Each structure stands twice: as C-alpha cells, then as structure tokens.
C-alpha cells in the first residue's frame, strides 16, 4: 500500500517558454531554420514560435535581451476554477506578484516567482492554432502541416532550471502547483538533493531543478523540444553538423527518464536539447525513483561522457565563464 497525498490535478502542462537572447537574429535562425519551428507573430523585442504539433498558437517566445536565460515559464491550468485555486495557493506562499494581461496567444495570467527567482505565470485561456492555408495539414488531427523543414521539432517538452536550494524549489512547486516527483538524485547517503524531475501530467518531467554549483539564482540549464524517435535525433546531429552548430553532448541516452538526446548551445547562448523516448508515467501512486551518485553517475546511461561545461555552464552565464565550444564542424566557405 502507498500513502500518497491526494494529488492536485490543477496544472495541465507547460504552455509557454520564453527564452532571452542577446543575438535575436541568429537565435531566430536557429529556431526556425535549424529546429524547424514556425514563426507566428512578432511584437516589440519578441518573436513567437511554435512546433508543428503544438495545439496552441504559440508555445515559445524569443526575446532580445542583454543576457541569455529563461524569461517567463507559463503553466496552463486545467480550468478557470483550477487557475483560481492555484492562484490562492501561490498567494498563500507570499510568492505571488499579481495578474498580468497575459501575452500573445493566451489570456490573463498570474505572475509569481519560485524560491530561486525564476519568473513564472499560470493561466487558463489559450488561443488554439488555426493554420493558414499553406500550413494546413492533410491530417485532420494535426494542427499544422509537417513541413519537413530543419529538424522539425513537434512540441516543447520541458525545462531544466538550476536552483541554489533544490528541495525548497521542489516543495514549492509540489505544494503550490501540484507537481509530482518522478525521479531524484540524492548524494551523501541520501541527504543531499542534487536534482529532482517533476511533472503535472503523464510526460516524464516538464520541470527539473538541479543544484546550481555556482550558488547563483534564476538560471536555466536547458530547454528541451520533442521529436518522435531516435532517428530524428540522429538526423538532428547531421543537420547541426551541416550548419556549424556546436554539439555539446550526445547523441546519447540518459539513465533517469531513459530519454535519447542531443544538446547544442543556440547562438544566443542557451542550451537546447532535442529529446525523445522519455517514458510516460501513468501510475497515480508512482513512487519516485531515487538515484545515488554511484547508480546515477552523470546521468549518461550509454554514449559519450558529458563535457565539463555541462555541469558548469548555464544561462545567464556566470561573468567571465566561457560558453561551451562543443564539437563544431567547420562549415564550407564558398568565398
Ligand atoms: Fe532535459
């Protein structure tokens, strides 16, 4: 018998991820031409993008900024009533900042920060994507044509954030938002929480907190987008190589999540993961899997070891720290 707490089923999924970039033109090229996302809107310093399988009008926002990093992460509530319940719970923690008018594609949103200072919002009203004629799919159940452009990421998947105090942030999102813990890394005989992987739905994790070994605040380790199978990750490696995009890690397989991955640093400096095959969790009484340092290692199940930069680099970057070079294949220069 398990004695799980009554679950809070008020948050549906990760709805919108905003990334900040000091190189907006180059970053936009990476997301549209290399990853194959579709641009749907531009406003002020921001461009709004989507994967071909995202049901919402937009799932990602790219905003010009002095430094790279995560902007606002927005979580979609299950209903208007669910939204109000979560807002009350957030307000009770003292971390609420109030209502905003939302953003392109979504209605009013309630803004808050997690204990580490990452900016988040929760909302319910979402504008569903209506494809223009040239992007209409021949499948009635696909919101947008699969164009085959670039890597062709289907949808956004998860964000991995760094936090100086992992347990404080994990318990905040568990208690205020209903996140359920899937896997965890505990060092020092189970006394030191190094990382926690969580979700509010069947996707293995939509949010991870990993300890910031620089003890800084509000930083992002990576943002991950989903493709349907391993072949597409391998094809992504070819596309990155042909376009001079440095590959920092992978293609390899994680032990926790069991996912197949490749990491690159987009031109603005953010670490981006192309990801597939993470297992889904359906058990309502799922027992979190706890890995110790010996069993987990660096999180690589098989494949090449992670470079030092993977443990060291995050955005915004620590002043003076180098952006990972990765293995960059020189691109042929016809001039
Ligand atoms: Fe990831």
pLDDT digit string (tens) for 197-227? Answer: 999 999 999 999 999 988 899 999 999 999 9
Confidence of residue 298 (pLDDT cuts 50, 70, 90): confident
Tell how far the Cα of 174 is from the centroid of ligand 1, in angstroms: 19
| pLDDT for res 86 | 98
- Overall average pLDDT of the 64-78 stretch: 98
pLDDT at residue 232, rounded to an integer: 98
| Ligand 1 centroid, distance to 56 Cα (angstroms) | 22
Question: What pLDDT does 328 receive?
Answer: 67
Burial of 307 (0-12, 13-18, 19+ CB in 10 A): middle
The CATH number that applies at residue 298 is: 3.10.180.10
Q: Evaluate whether residue 135 is within a structural domain.
A: no
Section 240-268 average pLDDT: 95
Query: Is 328 a member of any domain?
Result: no
Q: Percent of the chain, pLDDT > 90?
A: 89
Mean pLDDT of 103-126: 98
The answer to whether residue 287 is domain-embedded is yes
Question: Could you tell me the distance, in angstroms and rounded to a whole number, from the CA of residue 238 to the centre of ligand 1?
Answer: 20
Determine the Cα–Cα distance for residues 131 and 276; give it in Å rounded to an integer: 25
How far, in Å, is the centroid of ligand 1 from the Cα of 225? 9
CA–CA dist 196, 174 (Å, integer): 11
**For 299, left (φ over 0), alpha (ψ -120 to 50), or beta?**
left
Boundaries of domain holding 296: 11-129+153-312
Distance 254 CA to ligand 1 centre (A): 9
Q: What 3-state class would DSSP assign to 131? A: coil
CA of 261 to the centre of ligand 1 (A): 8
Q: Is 34 helix (H, G, I), strand (E, B) or coil?
A: helix
Query: Does 324 map to a domain?
Result: no
CA 222 / ligand 1 centre spacing (Å): 7
Give me ligand 1 centre to Cα 99, in Å.
30
3-state secondary structure at position 326: coil
pLDDT for residue 5: 77
Mean pLDDT of 75-98: 98
pLDDT band at residue 1 using 50, 70 and 90 as cut-offs: low
C-alpha of residue 270 to centroid of ligand 1, in Å = 13
- Mean confidence (pLDDT) of the chain: 95
pLDDT digits (tens, 9 = 90+) for 124-153: 999 999 999 999 999 999 999 999 999 999
CA separation, residue 52 to residues 55, 65, 230 (Å): 8, 26, 18
How many angstroms separate the alpha carbon of residue 257 from the centre of ligand 1?
9
Q: How many CB atoms lie within 10 A of CB 160?
A: 20
CB 250 within 8 A of CB 304: yes
Tell me, what's the pLDDT at 335?
Answer: 67
Q: How far is the CA of 335 from the centre of ligand 1 (A)?
A: 38
Q: What are 299-334's pLDDT values in tens digits?
A: 999 999 899 999 889 999 887 677 787 666 667 776
| Residue closest to 263 by CA, chosen among 154, 131, 160 | 160
Q: Return the pLDDT at 327.
A: 64
Domain-embedded: residue 334: no
| Token pair of 156 as six digits | 């956004």
By three-state DSSP, how is residue 72 classified? strand
pLDDT, one tens digit per residue, over 145-204 is 999 999 999 999 999 999 999 999 999 999 999 999 999 999 999 999 999 999 999 999
Domain count, the chain: 1
What is the per-residue pLDDT for 325?
A: 73
Compute the distance from residue 61 Cα to the ligand 1 centre, in Å: 19
Q: Does any domain span residue 214?
A: yes
Domain presence at residue 79:
yes
Query: Which residues 6+ apart lie within 8 Å of 320 measured at CB?
Result: none
Cβ pair 58, 155 in contact under 8 A: no
Find the mean pLDDT for residues 266-270: 96
Give the pLDDT mean for 44-50.
Answer: 98
3-state helix, strand, coil in the chain (%, to 5): 20, 35, 45
The answer as to whether 221 is a domain residue is yes
């Amino acid at each position: 018998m398990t004695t799980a707490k009554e679950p809070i089923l008020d948050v549906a999924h990760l709805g919108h991820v905003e990334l900040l970039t000091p190189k907006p033109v180059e970053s936009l090229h990476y997301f549209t031409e290399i990853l194959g996302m579709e641009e749907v809107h531009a406003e002020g310093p921001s461009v709004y993008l989507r994967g071909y399988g995202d049901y919402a009008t937009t799932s990602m926002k790219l905003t010009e900024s002095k430094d790279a990093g995560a902007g606002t992460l927005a979580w979609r509530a299950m209903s208007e009533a669910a939204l109000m319940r979560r807002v009350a719970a957030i307000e009770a923690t003292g971390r609420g900042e109030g209502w905003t008018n939302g953003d392109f594609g979504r209605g009013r949103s309630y803004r808050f920060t997690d204990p580490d200072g990452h900016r988040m919002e929760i909302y319910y009203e979402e504008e569903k994507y209506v494809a223009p004629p040239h992007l209409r799919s021949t499948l009635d159940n696909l919101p947008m044509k699969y164009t085959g452009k670039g890597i062709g990421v289907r949808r956004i998947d998860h964000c991995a954030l760094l936090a100086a105090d992992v347990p404080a942030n994990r318990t905040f999102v568990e208690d205020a938002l209903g996140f359920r813990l899937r896997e965890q890394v505990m060092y020092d005989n189970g006394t030191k929480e190094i990382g926690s992987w969580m979700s509010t739905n069947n996707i293995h994790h939509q949010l991870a907190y990993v300890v910031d070994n620089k003890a800084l605040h509000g930083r992002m380790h990576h943002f991950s987008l989903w493709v349907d199978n391993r072949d597409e990750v391998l094809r992504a490696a070819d596309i990155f190589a042909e376009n001079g995009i440095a590959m920092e890690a992978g293609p390899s397989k994680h032990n926790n999540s069991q996912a197949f991955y490749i990491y690159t640093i987009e031109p603005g400096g953010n670490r981006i993961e192309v990801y597939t095959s993470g297992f889904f969790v359906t058990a309502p009484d799922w027992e979190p899997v706890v890995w110790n340092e010996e069993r987990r290692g660096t999180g690589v199940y098989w494949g090449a070891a992670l470079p030092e930069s993977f443990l060291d680099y995050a955005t915004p970057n620590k002043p003076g720290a180098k952006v990972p070079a990765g293995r960059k294949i020189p691109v042929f220069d016809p001039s």
